[in-house]
Structure 1
Amino acid sequence: MADTIYQLTNAKVVGCPKTIDNDLAGTHYTFGFWSSVQLASNAMDNLTTTARSHQRVFIVEIMGRDAGFLTMYSGISAGADIILIPETPFDLEKDIIDVLKSRVNAGYKYHIIATSEGAYPNSESLNRDFKTISKKTLDKMPKDTFGNPLLAKLNISQIIVDELNLRDDLKQDFQRNGVDFECRSVVLGHTMRAGTPNSFDRILGLRFGLAAMKLVLEGDFGKMVSLKGNKIKTISLSEGVKKKYITPDNDKMELRDLLVKIRYLSKQK
């Protein structure tokens, strides 16, 4: 919006990157992101307590329609057992059901699944595994640029709960291990946009504000302040507002997959 206003009007515009999604390519981090990561991580920590005491599966839906930074970072921080993000379409059988079976067979009686609101299954899994979503429903849904249905419109966490509740084979694995299968969805929603900012975001916001005011005083408009490493830099608005996503070579992706593979063997059962 800021870049559009600058390009189409005579307005004197300077930008500061603020979004909890952290999906702006011009900066390593936006202010607000780390506070929301902490909020989501704390929420999953709290849910882990009740999940352990009541032997439940919790599907925790976190904001992020197109980019999964918030879910990825908070999920890793909280030790979520499965993390689903929009950038990598998931396979219900391989990425969720098989992992849950492996965990319960290894002695785990509770499980936390962190999912972005925009996470969705790949086409093969959608056609093979899903029973609660009809093709007619999907055909009517809006699509993204790749033609994938925007399942965020349907509440993906509840969809996963409904699908898991239909899997007798999964329930039998739980029962064989002395665990009653109980699955719940929790949507964190706008709580991620509220609350007190953490120290990092407070200081980053002040640094951005100071740099932005210097641009205003210098008459250097059409620019955005950004964080590169630990340095405050200045880039054009048009470059700064481009979107970024978690790429396959991102080290957080590798860390997520590694944590799933080892089944959190160091976690309390």
Structure 2
Amino acid sequence: MKPRIYDNKPLKSFNPLVAYAGVLFGPPSFITNFKCFATILKEFFFLQYFEKFHILHIPVVHVDHPLDKKIPFTPAKVKIYLDFINLWVRPLAMLVKKFGFWHASRLTKQWMLRFRKLYQCCGKIYHFRLTTTDRPKYKEMREFRQIHALDPHFLCVPSLHVATVFLAFGFYRHIFGTEDFTETEKALWSEELYRGALEITETVLYVKQHSVNCIPAALYLVTQNFPEWITLDDARKFISELFVKPEGFSEEEAFQVREHIRATFEQYLVDGQKAANWYEPIWEFLVNYEA
């Protein structure tokens, strides 16, 4: 089919149910998607609950940092925090509308292969050390009650939220460059995904689901394992644009947060050059933090 043109239609206007009902559970990508969902269950839910119920006994490191207290707890941002799945699902719905079911399914398979790999990479860290922070016992909103009920909060470093949205930006940017998109679509949707990734990354700190220590590990993981989608310069630019308009704390404090994330990220790169495996610098960081 001839691709449709959506020059003035933001990704947020596409209904994610189109993707859930079609390409995420459709025949062309079903096996790949099933394997991905199985990996998510294993590396996210089972791992945490086995630790919670003392079936596993992986050491748990508290990764709180004094800078975390500079950023005010902002419950109203929780809906943004929870949008990290739909950030990558809505573009799949767009692909269905633009290219049709079968081609969209093939592109979905490409994403789900990388998404599964992302969880497997995170598992390299989680099986070595689980990590947590002192999150507020806030249950005034339904969203927080759901978070506290479903997330035992043992997978802080690296942040899956941050790694997911950062990788999604890089993946779709690549798709926009290799498939039949107009220049307007490329510019509009790349910018929307990038700004969405920045906003969600900031929000993991505003809703106190993560520490400033969780972000550099996520960015480092993505650059080391998906260099075809995300470059070191992408990560450095991303860090430099975090909290440029801080809410409830000062620009000087925002600079301190960015500088900590930048310095930790750069140290991972330095240590990674001497390591046999990409994940060893994060292991070393956690062992030292534990001490």
- Whether the TM-score (by the shorter chain) exceeds 0.5 is no
Q: TM-score, normalised by structure 1?
A: 0.29
The one of the two structures with greater contact order (alpha-carbon pairs below 8 A, sep at least 6) is 1
Q: Hey, which of these two has a bigger chunk of helix by percent?
A: 2
Q: Hey, which of these two has a bigger chunk of strand by percent?
A: 1
